[in-house]
Structure 1
């Protein structure tokens, strides 16, 4: 099984975190569950493999659209894959989808929305090209072309929301939102309203999501050991152990120790 991330070209990096490709050479003989905590990133996904299901607080194991947009995940979710895995996607920086496409991101939180319903029939042509492409490189190149055309149409400019959301990502969610807004000399209510529009959740909640997402990624890749819990609590800005456990369980539905021993997160498949 191959799961790869691709760094976007320089001109797309203000808007795109990465591209990804996920394929398998052998058909899955049984359902494969893959879990993911909330990561802090929205995405567009083009599926040319077997349709799959998603289970979350909002989605009850139904099939997701062939090509879809997903906004901010506010809790963990699980993919149920089967048959042929074949998909490519664009992972956007926290405000990137709104900045590039002007979409109200609060409408897409915890959803898998058919891309055709959002962007129109033009998606059919791109979907066909991606499905017919002869190589991973060609598929990623098509995603870049798709965004390049939107960049030319929109000619977007980054604003304070982009800056703040990107800074929260860089700081792994360990930030003081009130201090950040004071430094920007902005009206708190107006700023929070614009942040909700561009990112999909409030600034404070986004910082919590990003902190958990970043931490889970490290745990899944075995960078931490169970003996390092106190170090984890300190470095990630939690008040104490009980606060850490409560926060972790709220977002993932599992205790930290259980998660480390039993996670089947997508990070395990990264190459």
Structure 2
């Protein structure tokens, strides 16, 4: 939920997509850019990969790389929640209102979590370094059923989600090390890549930039911000 200035995003799916003040978004499959008109002021919830589907039954493949107005998905009563949060005097109260809304929703569900939730969370735990075929065998589940349920609950295939998580791990390591990478080969190996060219191709495909360029530009950005 945004209580500041309007903004838009650009991604491979949308040259320009105006972002509603209160919205739901699914899995991002590629990098995207923000265009801000003014300062934004946001509060929101980042769910585990299957969380939105488990709570609201939404077909998450419809929300990948999207920003959809909350009221269009969950009804006009979401405007009341948006207004109450906007009127709150501090961040703690806003968070409490959001938490109460979600807990109320959760209390009405019966066993919302299943093996697909487990599989998606395991992919996160393993940083995407996981054999999906072996995972399916371990779950004793039909491959076609698993693929259909994963797409429904997460928005992308399990194999593609694992690829996203591996790149996410690399980016997390960049941040943890303040964008300085002293041993690329070690980092690539820990992320589960055994071929440098494959890593570079995959990283560039998700971020739009080669790893060394991406890291260097963020070092320059960090230096610029520290001087302001």
* Coarse TM-score class (shorter-chain normalised): over 0.9
8 Å CA contact 2:179, 2:216 repeated in 1: no
Instruction: Report how many aligned residue pairs link the two structures.
Output: 222
Equivalent residue for 1:50?
5
8 Å CA contact 1:220, 1:260 repeated in 2: no
The one of 81, 94, 97 equivalent to 1:142 is 97
Distance 2:177 2:122 in 1: 25
Runs of 4+ with deviation above 6 angstroms: none
8 Å CA contact 1:173, 1:207 repeated in 2: yes
Equivalent residue for 1:191?
146
Structure 1 residue matching 2:204: 3-state secondary structure: helix
Q: Does 2:198 correspond to 1:243?
A: yes
Q: Per the alignment, do residues 84 and 107 of structure 1 end up closer, same or farther by CA in structure 2, a change over 3 Å counting? A: same
Q: Hey, which of these two has a bigger chunk of strand by percent?
A: 1
Q: Does 2:54 correspond to 1:99?
A: yes
Q: Does 2:129 correspond to 1:170?
A: no
Distance 1:226 1:84 in 2: 32
1:154 is displaced (CA, Å) by: 2.6
Q: Hey, which of these two has a bigger chunk of helix by percent?
A: 2
1:57 is displaced (CA, Å) by: 0.8
TM-score normalized with structure 2 length? 0.92
1:242 is displaced (CA, Å) by: 0.6
Q: Does 2:158 correspond to 1:182?
A: no
Q: Does 2:187 correspond to 1:213?
A: no
**What 5-or-longer segments of structure 1 have no aligned partner?**
1-45
1:215-266 deviation per Cα after TM superposition (whole angstroms, max 9, x unaligned)? 112213435633210011110111211111011001111000001011369x
RMSD (Å), alpha carbons? 1.8
**What 5-or-longer segments of structure 2 have no aligned partner?**
none
1:83 is displaced (CA, Å) by: 2.1
Equivalent residue for 2:79?
124
Q: Does 2:10 correspond to 1:79?
A: no
